[in-house]
């Protein structure tokens, strides 16, 4: 009987446009928050290790690409310091030890902030940072929904290593790479965590692409929530175009950024665009925003594309409000592939746990077809 070779696809027999390297964060499970604050009570975390397990199982089942760990000799700390402040990174590295030092019984609890220095003129000082750990946590976090646990730093660091390795694989000429980043990254900024994110994986990868000689990088964020951290990282730059399609911040998290009139600043003016859409938006409307974003990528003459890939736009997502269905994600992947650019995906949100794998793999499969 005639048919395809029975062995798994290998580098030699997979055509260039279908190749995809997948970087797996084997330490992701070390970050396992217990509860997040929601409307005055602690509720079970939505961002759970099983999410990544479903994605991994589905990309394996469909043989989407080689699944590898990031190499151990990456210049990771240097790459992180190009996106985040050293003070913030040192805070993250030491946070768990300091939390436990505050009270040994804290070892059984995750760290959540409860006090914040609102950045309004004359409200609070930021030039005299307190030594108290709870205050420092509030200084570096913008919500109380992002538990910091014993393994958060190790997991986040290794997730960023996946993103960095994925960027290097594109620099070596690969068509596409997928970084299985967990915890996610797109809400994290130069000196802040929040929205389940600690390190901005997509920003680390974008900067690595720039440093590797790619002149113009476009970041097209398709997560349900505005990619506020990524926008902030590149807001005053013209070499990294940041685009985000998301729930309207008038009603949707993260609320305080993501409006349509945020266009960038200084030399970065014109190099940020947002498509806020109302809760309840269905695929056809969402897809016309995607087409506009793709046109912006073309006009920018991007040399590489980065996609913070959240599938919390899914109709069954428990914390979000769009109505995308599983087959729609195939069309998303196809549309992204039409740009013909080296493309790097990072895993962001998506909380309908048992469907996250299918939805993510559909994007990749549509991209590859």
x/- map, 136-155, ligand SP5, by CB under 6 A? ---------x----------
Cα 322 from chain centroid (whole Å) = 18
CA angle 238, 239, 242 (to 5 degrees): 75
CB 357 within 8 A of CB 58: yes
User: How many residues appear in the chain?
Assistant: 369
According to CB under 6 A, which one of 54, 91, 196, 345 is a site residue for ligand SP5? Answer: 196
* Shorter beta-carbon distance to ligand SP5: residue 157 or 175: 157
Euclidean distance between CA atoms 22 and 357, whole angstroms: 14
Q: Is 322 in the site for ligand SP5 (CB under 6 A)?
A: no
Q: Is 57 in the site for ligand SP5 (CB under 6 A)?
A: no
Euclidean distance between CA atoms 209 and 217, whole angstroms: 7
CB 8 within 8 A of CB 165: no
Euclidean distance between CA atoms 194 and 23, whole angstroms: 24
CB atoms within 10 A of CB 81: 13
* Shorter beta-carbon distance to Zn ion: residue 224 or 300: 224
* Shorter beta-carbon distance to ligand SP5: residue 201 or 207: 201
Span of 76-84, 90-98, 189-197, 244-252 interacting with ligand SP5 by CB under 6 A:
189-197
Question: Residues in contact with ligand SP5, total (CB under 6 A)?
Answer: 16
x/- map, 231-260, Zn ion, by CB under 5 A? ------------------------------
Q: Is 223 in the site for ligand SP5 (CB under 6 A)?
A: yes
According to CB under 6 A, which one of 249, 333, 349, 357 is a site residue for ligand SP5? Answer: 349
Q: Of these partners, Zn ion, ligand SP5, none, which one is at the site of residue 38 (CB under 5 to 8 Å by kind)?
A: ligand SP5
Q: Is 253 in the site for ligand SP5 (CB under 6 A)?
A: yes
* Dihedral, CA of residue 65, residue 231, residue 257 and residue 77, to nearest 10: 80
Report in angstroms the alpha-carbon separations of 287 from 29, 297, 332: 33, 15, 8
* Shorter beta-carbon distance to ligand SP5: residue 43 or 87: 43
Write phi, then psi, for 198 (nearest 5 degrees). -125, -50
CB of 311 to ligand SP5, least distance (A): 10
Active site residue 84: no
Ranges assigned E (strand) in the chain = 21-24, 35-38, 41-44, 66-68, 176-180, 217-221, 240-247, 272-277, 304-309, 343-347
Euclidean distance between CA atoms 46 and 44, whole angstroms: 6
CB 205 within 8 A of CB 179: yes
Q: Of these partners, ligand SP5, Zn ion, none, which one is at the site of residue 252 (CB under 5 to 8 Å by kind)?
A: none
Span of 90-98, 110-118, 222-230, 353-361 interacting with Zn ion by CB under 5 A:
222-230
Which of 31, 46, 187, 246 is the catalytic position?
187
- DSSP tag of 67: E
Q: Of these partners, Zn ion, ligand SP5, none, which one is at the site of residue 195 (CB under 5 to 8 Å by kind)?
A: ligand SP5
CB of 297 to ligand SP5, least distance (A): 22
According to CB under 6 A, which one of 138, 159, 189, 195 is a site residue for ligand SP5? Answer: 195
Q: Is 312 in the site for Zn ion (CB under 5 A)?
A: yes
**Can you say whether residue 358 is alpha, beta or left, with left for phi > 0 and alpha for psi between -120 and 50 degrees?**
alpha
Span of 12-20, 44-52, 332-340, 347-355 interacting with Zn ion by CB under 5 A:
347-355
Euclidean distance between CA atoms 192 and 88, whole angstroms: 7
Question: What is the binding site for Zn ion (CB under 5 A)?
Answer: 223-225, 310, 312, 349
Question: What is the binding site for ligand SP5 (CB under 6 A)?
Answer: 38, 43, 145, 184, 187, 195-197, 223, 225, 253, 310, 312, 319, 348-349
User: Would you name the residues annotated as active-site residues?
Assistant: 187
């Amino acid at each position: 009987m005639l048919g395809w070779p029975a062995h798994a696809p290998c580098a030699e027999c997979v055509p260039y446009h279908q190749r995809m390297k997948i970087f797996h964060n084997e330490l992701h499970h070390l970050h396992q928050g217990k509860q997040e604050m929601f409307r005055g009570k602690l509720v079970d975390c939505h961002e759970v290790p099983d999410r990544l397990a479903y994605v991994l199982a589905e990309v394996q089942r469909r043989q989407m690409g080689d699944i590898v760990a990031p190499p151990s000799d990456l210049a990771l700390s240097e790459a992180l310091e190009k996106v985040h402040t050293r003070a913030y990174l040192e805070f993250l590295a030491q946070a768990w030890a300091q939390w436990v030092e505050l009270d040994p019984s804290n070892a059984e609890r995750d760290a959540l902030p409860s006090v914040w220095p609102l950045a309004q003129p004359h409200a609070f000082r930021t030039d005299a940072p307190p030594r108290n750990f709870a205050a420092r946590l509030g200084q570096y976090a913008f919500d109380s929904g992002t538990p910091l646990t014993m393994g958060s730093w190790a997991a986040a660091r290794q997730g960023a290593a996946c993103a960095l390795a994925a960027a290097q694989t594109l620099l070596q000429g690969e068509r596409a790479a997928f970084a299985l980043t967990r915890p996610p990254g797109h809400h994290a900024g130069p000196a802040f965590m929040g929205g389940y994110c600690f390190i901005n994986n997509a920003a680390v990868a974008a900067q690595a692409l720039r440093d590797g000689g790619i002149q113009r990088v476009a970041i097209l964020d398709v997560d349900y929530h505005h990619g506020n951290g990524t926008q902030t990282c590149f807001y005053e730059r013209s070499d990294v175009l940041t685009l985000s399609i998301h729930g309207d911040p008038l009603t949707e998290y993260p609320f305080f950024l993501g409006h349509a009139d945020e266009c960038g600043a200084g030399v970065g003016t014109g190099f940020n665009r947002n498509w806020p859409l109302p809760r309840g938006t269905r695929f056809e409307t969402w897809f016309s925003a995607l087409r506009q974003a793709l046109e912006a990528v073309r006009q920018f003459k991007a040399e590489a594309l980065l996609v913070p890939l959240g599938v919390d736009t899914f109709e069954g997502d428990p914390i979000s409000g769009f109505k995308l269905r599983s087959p729609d994600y195939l069309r998303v992947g196809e549309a992204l592939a039409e740009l013909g650019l080296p493309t790097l995906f990072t895993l962001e949100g998506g909380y309908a746990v048992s469907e996250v794998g299918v939805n993510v793999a559909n994007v990749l499969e549509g991209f590859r077809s």
